[in-house]
Amino acid sequence: MSSTLKPNRASDIIQSAYRVNLNHLIRNYSAPVAGAIPATKQKYVPTSGTYPKGFLASGIHVGVKPTNTQFPDLALLASETPCSGAAVFTKNRFQAAPVTVSRQVLEQRSGEGIRAIVINSGCANAVTGRGGLNDASAMGHAVDTCFDSSQESASGSSSTLVMSTGVIGQRLPISKILSAIPTAHSSLAATHTNWLLAARAICTTDTFPKLLSRTFTLPSSPGITYSLAGMTKGAGMIHPDMATLLGMLFTDAPIPAKMLKPLLTHVVDRSFNAISVDGDTSTNDTVAFLANGAAGGEPLSSLDSANGEAITGVVTSFTQQLSQLVIRDGEGATKFVRVRVINAASFPDARKIASSIARSPLVKTALYGKDANWGRILCAIGYTDGLSPGAVVSEKTSVSFVPTDGSESLKLLVKGEPEAVDEVRAAKILEDEDLEILVDLGGGEGEEGREEASYWFCDFSHVSVRVFTLYTSGSLQANL
CA-nearest of 145, 243, 229, 164 to 195 is: 229
Sort residue 442 into left (φ over 0), alpha (ψ -120 to 50) or beta. Answer: left
The three-point CA angle 382-383-388 to 5° equals: 80
- The string of DSSP letters for 284-295 reads S-EEEEEE--TT
d(CA 316, CA 309): 10
CB atoms within 10 A of CB 471: 18
Give the separation between CA 107 and CA 155, rounded to whole angstroms: 12
Pairwise CA distance, residues 315 & 294, whole Å: 18
**Among 312, 324, 287, residue whose Cα is nearest residue 454:** 324
Pair 342, 350: CB distance under 8 Å: yes
Rounded to whole angstroms, how far apart are CA atoms 315 and 426?
35
**SS3 label, residue 228:** strand
In this structure, the strands spanning 417-418 and 410-414 are antiparallel
Residue 449: strand, helix, or coil: coil
* Cβ contact 195:249 at 8 Å: no
Which stretches within 120-256 are classed as H helix?
Answer: 129-144, 150-155, 174-186, 192-201
Whether residue 244 lies in the annotated active site: yes
Q: CA–CA separation, 477 vs 67, rounded Å?
A: 9
292 contacts 255 by C-beta, under 8 angstroms = no
Q: Give every strand in the sheet of 451-458, ordered side by side.
A: 275-276, 451-458, 336-344, 434-440, 398-402, 410-414, 417-418
Exactly one of 90, 205, 232, 244 is catalytic; which is it?
Answer: 244
Inter-residue contact 358 to 453 (CB < 8 Å): no
> Which positions are annotated as active-site residues?
244
